[in-house]
Amino acid sequence: MARFDAEAELRRLREAIDRVDEVLVKLLNQRAKYAVEIGEIKGMLSLPIYSPEREKQVLLHVESRSEGPLEDAAIRRLFERIIDESRRVERESATASHEPQPKISE
């Protein structure tokens, strides 16, 4: 591959990564929206935010769906961080759902 072709290919691949990153951001935010809803429901039901069995299921599921080149351990680390952030927004929404609502004066 000539230098010019290699540079053009590098640009193309970086642009492709940028597009994938944009999709990832949208999907991560959608996942967080679901976590907010789950947190609200857990707050109403007085359920704990931390659910170790569910988290274990999620990790096993995503590891089983990965076809590489990322190793299972890498997928696990990434999703552990995603789960941490999901748990944080769940906790915030569960707390917010328990706060007294202001009375509307007439």
pLDDT (tens digit per residue) in 2-52: 888 999 999 999 999 999 999 999 999 999 999 999 999 999 999 999 999
| Beta carbons of 47 and 38 less than 8 angstroms apart | no
Examine residue 69 and say whether the peptide bond preceding it is cis (omega within 30 degrees of 0): yes
Domains (range + CATH), the chain: 3-94 (1.20.59.10)
pLDDT at 10: 97
Across residues 53-74, what is the average pLDDT? 97
pLDDT at 4: 80
Alpha helices in the chain (DSSP H): 3-45, 52-65, 72-98
pTM, to two decimals: 0.82
| Beta carbons of 55 and 83 less than 8 angstroms apart | yes
